[in-house]
């Protein structure tokens, strides 16, 4: 199974242990699914965690481990098709990544934009809780 995790899911996984985003991150690290990514969410993650809010709450070592895991273990896609479907154009790259990787799931916490779409091509757009519960069966 191929999965794309939105940056908000990765940040949530770092912030609070035991939550659905954290469980998904750990399930990926234990090879329960293939994570598909590109450089953009990794760079976005590195940029966002430099904000004072996150620096006060996260350990640099945990951030570094996640970035290294993503670069080393995720299936990286270099070329993305043009997609213009999300109500928030900044999210179109996630839909393009899903297309390029033929992802089964896009996991996001973005209720007003991405989750409202429900699917993109053959990719189901779901919450972290939905996929974590499905994998727990």
- In this structure, what CATH number is given to the domain that contains residue 79? 3.40.50.1010
How far does Cα 50 stand from its chain's mean position?
18
Residue of 51, 25, 38 lying closest to 128 (CA atoms): 25
pLDDT, position 83: 95
Give the span between the Cα atoms of 83 and 66, in whole angstroms. Answer: 27
SS3 37: strand
Residues lower than pLDDT 70 in the chain: none
**119, β-bridge pairs:** 124
Domain count, the chain: 1
pLDDT, position 137: 83
pLDDT, position 26: 94
Domain residues for the domain of 118 are 2-136
pLDDT, position 50: 93
């Amino acid at each position: 199974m191929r999965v794309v995790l939105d940056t908000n899911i990765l940040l949530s996984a770092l912030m609070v242990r035991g939550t659905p985003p954290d469980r998904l991150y750990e399930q990926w690290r234990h090879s329960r699914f293939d994570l598909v990514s590109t450089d953009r969410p990794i760079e976005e993650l590195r940029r966002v965690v430099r904000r004072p809010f996150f620096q006060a709450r996260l350990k640099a070592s945990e951030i570094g481990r996640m970035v290294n895991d993503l670069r080393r273990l995720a299936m990286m896609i270099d070329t993305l098709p043009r997609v213009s479907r999300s109500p928030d154009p900044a999210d179109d790259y996630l839909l393009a990544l899903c297309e390029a990787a033929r992802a089964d799931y896009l996991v996001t916490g973005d209720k007003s934009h991405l989750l409202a779409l429900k699917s993109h091509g053959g990719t189901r757009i779901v919450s972290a809780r939905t996929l974590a519960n499905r994998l727990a069966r």
